[in-house]
Structure 1
Amino acid sequence: MHVVMFADQHLESLGGAQVSMRLQRRFLERAGHTVTVVAPRMHSATHMSDAAYLDTPSIPITVDREYALTWPGRRADRFIDAALVSRPPVDVVHVQADFWGAFLGHRLARRRGLPVVHTMHNRVDVGIEATSPLPGLTMRALNLWQRRALPPIEVVPRGTDGWSYLAGLAAGAAAVTAPSAHFARRLEQHGVFPRVDVVWNGIDDDALDAALAARRPRLPGLPRFVWVGRMSPEKRLLPFLRALAESGVRAEVEVIGGGGELRAARRIVETARPAASVSFAGRLPYATTLERIAAADAVVQTSVGFETQGMTVFEAASLGTPSIVSDPDIAAELGAGTWPVDGGASVAGLAAALRTAAAAIESGSTPAPDPGVAERFRQSSRTAAMIEVYERAIAR
């Protein structure tokens, strides 16, 4: 089958959804399917030409030019239609976006009468709350934008909050999936979609096997913590660094990733002078990141309420590395191998969890992750599950 995926950001940009979509594309192609990925053209760096990418005209929207926007109008529609002429007939549209990418994907499906599978990756309301000075006004504007870019296909009451926004997107879908059970149940409870399929984002089978094979016994020394992610407010890197300083733990801490808060993060380390040593590794290749996670004593997860899965801690569990987990929903989904943070959004609570974890690591009494996560998290199994969803959507 030919699957056309839509994303808000180019798959070569930084982000968990982008990592997941790159893996989905590769494993679908490995299974014999054709994939086209529609996303805004990048402005921050050049990348190799890739036949699967359909880069739409865009404008940069962040200072570092990492992320871009394609206006979801007729011009973009015509561009996409023209580019698809030379590609195989489309069987299913897989929308994995919340904004312009979602609008463009649903518009294509409506023009061509194609089934849509919509994967909800994000808690839009929590993300807006963390990044907008006027979140209520922003959500009302987003709902209005959606109704203009993607007119409702049926007359239903429409609100102005994040759940109403997601319900407006899901209204045209044949199936909706979520990357965790806790987010799927929330979507159902808020009336976004009657039955949401749970399909975890996965880990590269080959990279997992390589990282497991390369893993070495822990060497004596200070506890090693690693934080991985996008440096933006909802990920809560800055509160983590403040908690690290408050905790007083002596440890080696590596921060992997990039984003707009890098300068502020460095400033906190310089002024707070934590007892731990902190290094900023920047963006690393996927395989290298997995190696660093495997070599760490613990991964630190700090966002609360925003993550719909939390890829990093699932990668850690697959590699046998425990995690300090701020979000109680994520801790519950993992089931084992965690140090939950009491009062997850509290700097004091995170500092206490860091002290507890450091003491356990030094005494050799760390909790073991659930070994079943590694098999259930492999991308091969996740792709097989998603193909079943595609086939059901096409049959409808």
Structure 2
Amino acid sequence: MTMHIVFFGDQHLDSLGGAQVSMRLQREFLERAGHTVTVVAPKMHGPRSGAYDPANVDLPSMPITADREYSMSWPGRGTDRFLDRAMTRRPPVDLVHVQADFWGGFIGHRFARRHGIPVVHTMHNRVDVGIRAVTPLAGPVLAVLNLWRRRALPGTGAGSDGWAFLRGLAAGASAVTAPSTHFARRLEQHGVFGRVDVVWNGIDDDVRAATLAAAPEERMPGRPRFVWLGRMSPEKRLLPFLEAFVASGVDAELEIIGGGAQRPAAEKIVAGLPNVRFAGKLTYAETLSRIAAADALVQTSIGFETQGMTPFEAATLGTPSVISDPDIAAELGGGLWAVPDSDAPEAQRIAALAQTLRQAASDISSGTAPVPLEATAEAFRQSSRTAAMIEIYEHVLPESR
């Protein structure tokens, strides 16, 4: 049976971010399977705002970052009316798939309530950790978020911490999914939802095949090549990583992919090092090509990632990873260097990362680097992830459909 599924996101799918990459792939592979997908998200305002896409409903929005990359839409009656009018020009909706943690989540659940449509909610965000990473006033911020949630979605429960916020979002869902086993179990342990299904975010099958076909069969000679990629913000721990890289003294190349507010500070730490290069923001295919060409990917956030897509992308391309987060290391299962002391004070964590980088560089140079698990690479293909999600969709749809 074919379905019309409506995605709700906090950010437009043309903006930067792991959730946006995942949702673009989900949409593409659902459409390949014969389904219709509509994506509801705030309209972009920056220079990268794209051309009209008939699959998108771009909600009235306001920019919320200086570079105008990200925006927000207010979850209220005006947005509800705009959305309902837009949806009258589209096929009847079978399912709402909320993949948003803030305004997009509120708007999606409000839409599903008004029209009696079942909801699958994918949790992408460890809200409590993320907010603590960017503000010293996490408690008051979470209290305000929960107040906002109760007003936007009446009857979704009390509480003022991050788990209460996620419980409230999940209250209207027929199914909840998470992109990793460790995050799913935490959601269950904190009463967010009774049973959380694990569906990894995936990699584009075709781009993966093309990337592997273009990659050399043997390692190119030269110094060990490390790559780091992501948003340059505190929770990603780019600055501590660069401090560790400098302290390690490794004779290695380092490429840093991405952008964000911490770039000037990052460049200052490694100023004068000719073996460190900032590549800026690259396309999806370019990024995968750089990962495949590297000897090791470095993942440095701790406790924040609900999956951490980059080590999985690296694994499926045959590139091992230096992993700071023990949960991500356990999820990958192999093909990595695990950084110890994840619970230690920051100075000790930096020293442990520096030592792990030295070990990784030594293993790479000697030809003894770990090899990613083949099973992980196969299970990360988007086609298999879409098949798993379709099973969940079909389970929650009314039998009378």
Question: Which TM-score applies when normalising by structure 1?
Answer: 0.97
- d(CA) in 1 for partners of 2:235 and 2:56? 28
The equivalent of 1:52 in structure 2 is 55
Q: Report if the CA contact (8 A) 1:64-1:260 is conserved.
A: no
CA contact (8 A) 1:183 1:308 kept: yes
Q: Determine the structure 1 residue equivalent to 2:145.
A: 142
Alpha-carbon offset, residue 47 of structure 1: 1.0
State which of 366, 369, 376 in structure 2 corresponds to 1:366.
369
Q: Which residue of 1 aligns with 2:181?
A: 181
How far off is 1:46 after superposition?
A: 2.8
Code of the residue aligned with 1:240 in structure 2: it is: F
The equivalent of 2:110 in structure 1 is: 107
Q: For each residue in 1:346-387, what CA deviation from the matched residue of structure 2 results, as whole angstroms up to 9, or x when unmatched?
A: 111111111110111111110011011121111011001101
1:50-89 alignment runs, 5 A limit: 50-89=53-92
SS in 1 for 2:270: helix
Tell me the CA shift for residue 48 of structure 1.
2.1
SS in 2 for 1:313: helix
Residue in structure 2 matched with residue 206 of structure 1 by the alignment: 206
Residue 267 (structure 1) aligns with = 268
Deviation string, structure 1 residues 1-42 (Cα, Å, up to 9, x no partner): 110000001111111100000000000000000101111111
Q: Which amino acid aligns with 1:299?
A: L
Partners of 1:324 and 1:340 within 8 A in 2: yes
**Partner amino acid, structure 2, of 1:309:** Q
**Structure 1 CA distance for aligned equivalents of residues 129 and 97 of structure 2:** 23
Does structure 2 retain, via aligned residues, the 8 Å contact 1:7–1:96? Answer: yes
Mapped to 1, the partners of 2:378 and 2:110 lie a distance apart of 37
Residue 247 in 1 paired to residue 258 in 2?
no
User: Which residue is equivalent to 1:384?
Assistant: 387
Aligned match of 2:307: 309
With 70-79 and 37-46 compared, the bigger mean Cα shift is at: 37-46
* Counterparts of 2:351 and 2:78, CA distance in 1: 51
Out of 113, 116, 121, the position equivalent to 1:118 is: 121
Using the TM superposition, give the Cα deviation of residue 133 of structure 1 relative to its aligned residue in structure 2, in angstroms.
Answer: 2.6
User: Quick one: which amino acid aligns to residue 289 of structure 2?
Assistant: E
Give 1:219 deviation, angstroms. 1.6
4+ runs of 1 displaced by more than 4 Å?
none
Structure 1 stretches lacking a partner, 5+ long: none
Show structure 2 runs of 5+ residues with no match. none
Q: Partners of 1:108 and 1:219 in 2: how far apart?
A: 53
The Cα of 1:86 is off from its aligned counterpart by: 0.4
* TM-score, with length taken from structure 2: 0.95
Q: Does 2:130 align with 1:127?
A: yes
Amino acid at match of 1:266: E
Contact persistence 2:229–2:258 (CA under 8 A)? yes
**What is the rounded CA distance, in whole Å, between the counterparts of 2:279 and 2:258 in structure 1?**
7
- For residues 314 and 248 of structure 1, what CA distance do their matches in structure 2 show? 27
Match of 2:258 in 1: 257
* Contact 1:64–1:259 (Cα < 8 Å) also in 2: no
Deviation per residue, 1:313-342 (Å, 9 max, x gap): 001000110000000000000000110111
Whole-angstrom distance in 1 between the partners of 2:261 and 2:394:
40
Shift of residue 169 of structure 1? 0.4
On the 8 A contact 2:14/2:49 being kept in 1, the answer is no
Secondary structure of the 2:251 match is coil
Contact 1:299 1:321 survives alignment (8 Å): yes
| Structure 2: distance between partners of 1:163 and 1:370 | 33
Deviation string, structure 1 residues 290-318 (Cα, Å, up to 9, x no partner): 11100100000000001011101001000
The Cα shift of 1:213 comes to 1.2
* Alpha carbons 1:70, 1:76 under 8 Å: kept: yes
Q: Which amino acid aligns with 1:78?
A: R
Alpha-carbon distance, 1:395 to partner: 2.8
What percent identity do the matched residue pairs reach?
Answer: 68
